[in-house]
């Protein structure tokens, strides 16, 4: 008896890429990032030494969100149904980490941007060259997310109290948010 199943081989895609899910989760993530920075700025204010840095990152995230909003509208993609949760959760995460101190706020940014870098890289691998418009957006935004992570580390993220625990918890939450926003 011979097996007729075509087993996956390296370099071969075995499942269809769900671009609508990608756009949905990326828009939700960028919206969440905007809300995190809004929470941090609400606590720290723009006069804090890190205020200008956070405001600059927030402006980039707002540009990312606007681009994904436009893509959602153009492609007729349903946004995530749990948008209201990300509105509150993002702001709360930003406010709480800022209240813990500026290094905790930077730890939050470093943790989230680490996960987003991995998430965007996975999406780029899945897309290959099949969707140049989406790939270009993701690639551009990924580079800025890496800049945010590196800036956060340079500004003391790893010196935050209980950094490994804080970073691990935030990264886990980020992965859960990604998984939920893909589907719901």
Phi, psi of 18 (to 5 degrees): -95, 90
Neighbours of 143 (CB within 10 A): 11
What is the CA angle 153-151-167, rounded to 5?
Answer: 40
In the chain the domains, ranked by start, together with CATH numbers, are 19-183 (1.20.1260)
* pLDDT bracket for residue 9 (50, 70, 90): very low
- Rounded to whole angstroms, how far apart are CA atoms 3 and 98? 58
The pTM of the full predicted model, rounded to 2 decimals, is 0.86
C-beta of residue 86 within 8 angstroms of C-beta of residue 32 = yes
CA angle 118, 124, 128 (to 5 degrees): 150
C-alpha separations of 122 from 22, 126, 183 in Å: 11, 6, 17
pLDDT band of residue 17 (cuts 50, 70, 90) is low
pLDDT (tens digit per residue) in 51-73 = 899 999 999 999 999 999 999 99
């Amino acid at each position: 008896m011979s097996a007729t199943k075509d087993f996956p081989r390296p370099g071969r895609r075995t499942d269809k890429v769900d671009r609508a899910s990608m756009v949905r989760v990326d828009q939700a993530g960028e919206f969440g990032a905007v809300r995190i920075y809004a929470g941090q700025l609400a606590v720290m204010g723009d006069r804090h030494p890190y205020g200008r840095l956070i405001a600059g990152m927030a402006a980039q995230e707002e540009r990312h969100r606007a681009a994904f909003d436009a893509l959602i509208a153009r492609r007729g993609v349903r946004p995530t149904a749990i948008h209201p949760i990300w509105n509150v959760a993002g702001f709360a995460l930003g406010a709480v980490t800022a209240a813990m101190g500026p290094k905790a706020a930077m730890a939050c940014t470093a943790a989230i941007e680490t996960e987003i870098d991995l998430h965007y890289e996975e999406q780029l691998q899945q897309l290959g060259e099949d969707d140049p418009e989406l790939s270009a957006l993701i690639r551009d935004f990924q580079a800025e997310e890496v800049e945010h992570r590196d800036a956060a580390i340079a500004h003391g993220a790893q010196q935050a109290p209980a950094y490994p625990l804080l970073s691990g918890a935030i990264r886990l939450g980020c992965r859960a948010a990604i998984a939920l926003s893909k589907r719901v």
